[in-house]
Amino acid sequence: MKKIPLIIDCDPGVDDSYALALANSSELLDLIAITPVEGNVSSDLTRRNVLGLCDLLNIDCRVGFGAEKPLFNPWYRNAAGVHGSTGVGTVEFGEIKKQPDPQPAWEVIYEEAVRHSGELVLMAVGPLTNIATCLRLHPDLPKHLKRFIIMGGGTFGNVTNTSKTAEFNIWVDPLAASEVFSQLEVWMVGLNATHAAAVEMTDFDEMVAICGDAPGAYVLRELSAFSKKNCMENGHDNNVIHDALAVASLIDPEVVGFDHHYVYVEHSGDAPNFGQTVIDFDGTSGKAPNCHVAMRVDQPRFVRMLKDMCRWYAEK
Ligand code: RIB
Ligand code: CA
């Protein structure tokens, strides 16, 4: 069966790293490009992490470097507290061999969208700065995409210092998110879904055991041990492997259930709900639905997929 061509725009990030590993291990997906953006950590680290993960996970694809800062967010701060100072927990890369593409993220995305017109799935699991930039330069991008999926937004927030209702990826660049939601049909895997698919501590223990000392599973062993330890020590939602659920929703439609609603992003800087994905559940806006909102998950099915992924790398 023909594989689905996939580009992942991301800000690794521990959960972004799981997402890249899951996509790379799926027989249904052809990961043709990864485009790092600023987000969890600064762009120099997200760029380095993508190149290093390509080496250690044996991912052969284009890497187009993206934005170094949001289109607009004077309050931006990183999430190193959740992901560790490097952004990828305790994973160490040593000398990185992978080289970036000469083209920037937005040109890699557009080139591949045209090359795979009508078949490409574009997935964004970080702030939407690169996607908005691509749309500003290439307004015909939507007609080339088969599907656009994000990990972001949702029915509640996780950014506490300036907005109680914003999810981090949207909050980092709400202007970009607003422009993206107004031009693309979005499949939104938000916090309500990712938290419902939270991974239990015992599941992390089993994932570490499956990885064992296999060299191919080094990244996943480190990520899983870090996620469990960080979550137990700091109470972060680190047992929520947010970004991997977005990939899982593409691999297996049974894992995530979506409902169709109109959604807009609040991007005015002085709004109390700055960065919120405002979901019109009852149609009061009178506007046509533009977003498939993840509302149901099969958590055991998702966790089985993560363990199978660990097994795949351990046996390589
Ligand atoms: O709010 C969770 C999202 O923000 C995830 O994508 C995580 O990696 C961070 O980017
Ligand atoms: Ca992310």
Over residues 265-315, the pLDDT tens digits come to 999 988 889 999 999 999 999 999 999 999 999 999 999 999 999 999 999
167 lines ligand 1 (CB under 6 A): yes
293 lines ligand 1 (CB under 6 A): no
126 lines ligand 1 (CB under 6 A): yes
Task: Tell how far the Cα of 205 is from the centroid of ligand 2, in angstroms.
Answer: 23
Task: Tell how far the Cα of 271 is from the centroid of ligand 2, in angstroms.
Answer: 24
Counting beta carbons within 10 angstroms of the beta carbon of residue 284, is it exposed (0 to 12), middle (13 to 18) or buried (19 or more)? exposed
Query: Phi and psi (nearest 5°) for 34?
Result: -130, 135
CA-wise closest residue to 35 among 12, 5, 69: 12
pLDDT at 162: 64
Cα–Cα distance for residue pair 273/269, rounded to 1 Å: 9
Confidence band, pLDDT 50/70/90 cuts, at residue 238: low
178 lines ligand 1 (CB under 6 A): no
Q: What percentage of the chain exceeds 90 in pLDDT?
A: 86
The minimum-distance atom of ligand 1 relative to the CA of 126 is 10
What is the chain's mean pLDDT, rounded? 95
CA 200: distance to chain centroid?
20
Confidence band, pLDDT 50/70/90 cuts, at residue 82: confident
157 lines ligand 1 (CB under 6 A): no
The minimum-distance atom of ligand 1 relative to the CA of 12 is 8
Number of other residues whose CB lies within 10 A of the CB of residue 299 = 15
235 torsion bin: left (phi>0), alpha (psi -120 to 50), beta (else): left
CB 220 within 8 A of CB 204: no
46 lines ligand 1 (CB under 6 A): no
- Asked whether the predicted pLDDT for residue 76 surpasses 90, the reply is no
pLDDT at 233: 79
Task: Tell how far the Cα of 243 is from the centroid of ligand 2, in angstroms.
Answer: 6
Give the closest ligand to the alpha carbon of residue 166.
1
Q: Is 83 a catalytic residue?
A: no
Give the closest ligand to the alpha carbon of residue 15.
1
pLDDT at 157: 93
Counting beta carbons within 10 angstroms of the beta carbon of residue 211, is it exposed (0 to 12), middle (13 to 18) or buried (19 or more)? buried
pLDDT at 159: 87
Show the tokens assigned to 105: 């993220």
From 144, 242, 261, 267, the catalytic residue: 242
How many independent structural domains does the chain possess? 1
Helix (H, G, I), strand (E, B) or coil at 160: coil
pLDDT at 86: 93
CA-wise closest residue to 83 among 91, 71, 74: 91
Cα–Cα distance for residue pair 101/65, rounded to 1 Å: 8
Cα Rg for the chain, rounded, in angstroms? Answer: 18
Q: Which domain holds residue 88?
A: 4-314
The minimum-distance atom of ligand 1 relative to the CA of 39 is 10
40 lines ligand 1 (CB under 6 A): yes
Q: What percentage of the chain exceeds 70 in pLDDT?
A: 97
- What is the arithmetic mean of pLDDT over 15-38? 98
The minimum-distance atom of ligand 1 relative to the CA of 158 is 1
Question: pLDDT digit string (tens) for 169-209?
Answer: 999 999 999 999 999 999 999 999 999 999 998 999 999 99
Give the closest ligand to the alpha carbon of residue 172.
1
Question: pLDDT digit string (tens) for 87-144?
Answer: 999 999 999 999 999 999 999 999 999 999 999 999 999 999 999 999 999 999 999 9
pLDDT at 237: 58
pLDDT at 235: 66
For position 76, which CATH number holds? Answer: 3.90.245.10
Show the tokens assigned to 104: 């920037």
